[in-house]
A = this chain, B = another copy of it.
Amino acid sequence: MYRIGVDLGGTNIKAGIMDESYQILLKDSVPTGSERGFEAIVKDMAALVLDLLKRQSISDDEVIGVGIGSPGSIDSATGVVAYSNNLNWHDAPLADELMKLLPFKVRVSNDANCAALGEVKAGAAKNINNAVLLTLGTGVGGGIVSEGKIFEGGHAGGAELGHTMLVRGGAACTCGRMGCLEAYASATALIRQTKEAAMQDPSSKIHEICQGDLSKVDGKTAFLAKEMGDATGTKVVAEYIGYLSDGIVDFINIFRPDVILLSGGICNEGKNLTDPVNELVKKNCYANNFNFIPKVETAILGNNAGMIGAAALVD
């Protein structure tokens, strides 16, 4: 039997066929074209799935089901996308409409939740039942797997781990509040912090790395400057790691999972990121002398995590 996972993004629709141990047999993608609206996108999703099955010569009765990871607030019980600003959808009945075009069970969940489930099924948290995943990208996404299942809270509106307050009255967050974790621990935030620090220090190697053009600063710049012995780069990295670690401690105090996973481009820093994070987490967790302290690790499935987790949505 086979599973199908679809990762619906603002830019591309990616789909893959997997075997029962979540090995990807075939995958492909088409542009989302989100400006075309809901119906056209649903049609393309169905066509992509049917095309993959045909190319792999898999018959309908060999398919367990189709899972979809979608951005936004998802009501997974009904398969409705309650709200997605990326796709500009409100109350879009994604599962129902897809089931009109496909002879399979269809389930939908939030993309960050799917990424967390993917890592649990076939990635860095394989054989682990409780995991929290933070995606450090444009924003900070949260995915929670509890007892092997996605924990999304009620009313299709929980697990927004990026929108928990860290620095009250601090930097503006996209959600309208000031000082959310997202405004301090996203890649966007790290870039802002790097630029601000460089502007304060004209002698910083950060200027050299981005050839005098601060618009070229990215998530790697501060780490690179630190490696070159630059004091300002070192300070930016230390502060960023402090913010991230405090957010992680909050989620350990709430969920106490077996493992915390980080994903996103910043994770390419590997142990340069996770070693100091683990040190701070160990020091600051509630009841740290008496209780289990989960390790913070980098996710390993990269861009496939959401697709693989989506494929696991259908029981």
A contact residues vs B (CB 8 Å cutoff): 73, 82-83, 90, 129-130, 142, 146, 151, 153-161, 163-170, 175-177, 179, 243, 246-247, 249-250, 252-258, 284, 286-287, 290-292
Given known contacts A153-B254, A154-B255, what 17 new A-B pairs fall within 8 Å (CB)? A82-B291, A130-B153, A154-B256, A154-B258, A155-B291, A157-B252, A157-B287, A158-B255, A160-B253, A160-B254, A161-B254, A163-B286, A164-B250, A165-B249, A168-B243, A175-B286, A175-B287
In the complex, the 4 A-B pairs of residues with the closest C-beta atoms, listed nearest first = A83-B290, A155-B292, A157-B256, A158-B256
- Report chain B residues within 8 Å CB of A250: 163-165
Contact between A159 and B254, CB atoms less than 8 A apart: yes
Contact between B290 and A82, CB atoms less than 8 A apart: yes
- A-B residue pairs in contact (CB < 8 Å), sample of 15: A83-B287, A83-B290, A142-B254, A154-B256, A155-B258, A157-B256, A160-B286, A161-B253, A165-B165, A167-B168, A168-B170, A168-B243, A176-B284, A177-B284, A254-B254
Closest to A181 in B: B165
| Contacts A154-B130, A157-B292; A254 near B164 (Cβ below 8 A) | yes
Closest to A151 in B: B146
Closest to A291 in B: B157
Closest chain-B Cβ to A60's Cβ sits at a distance in Å of 33
Contact between B163 and A166, CB atoms less than 8 A apart: no
Closest chain-B Cβ to A59's Cβ sits at a distance in Å of 37
**Copy number in this complex?**
2
Contact between A157 and B286, CB atoms less than 8 A apart: yes
Q: Name which of A158, A243, A257, A258 has the most chain B CB atoms within 10 A of its CB.
A: A158
Closest chain-B Cβ to A163's Cβ sits at a distance in Å of 5
- Report chain B residues within 8 Å CB of A170: 168
- Report chain B residues within 8 Å CB of A177: 246, 249, 284
- Report chain B residues within 8 Å CB of A168: 166-168, 170, 179, 243, 246
Q: Provide the bound-state CA to CA distance between A67 and B14, in Å.
A: 49
Q: Provide the bound-state CA to CA distance between A286 and B253, in Å.
A: 21
Question: Which of B158, B179, B257, B284 interacts with A153 by CB under 8 Å?
Answer: B257
Q: Provide the bound-state CA to CA distance between A90 and B290, in Å.
A: 8
- Report chain B residues within 8 Å CB of A159: 254
- Report chain B residues within 8 Å CB of A154: 129-130, 146, 255-258, 292
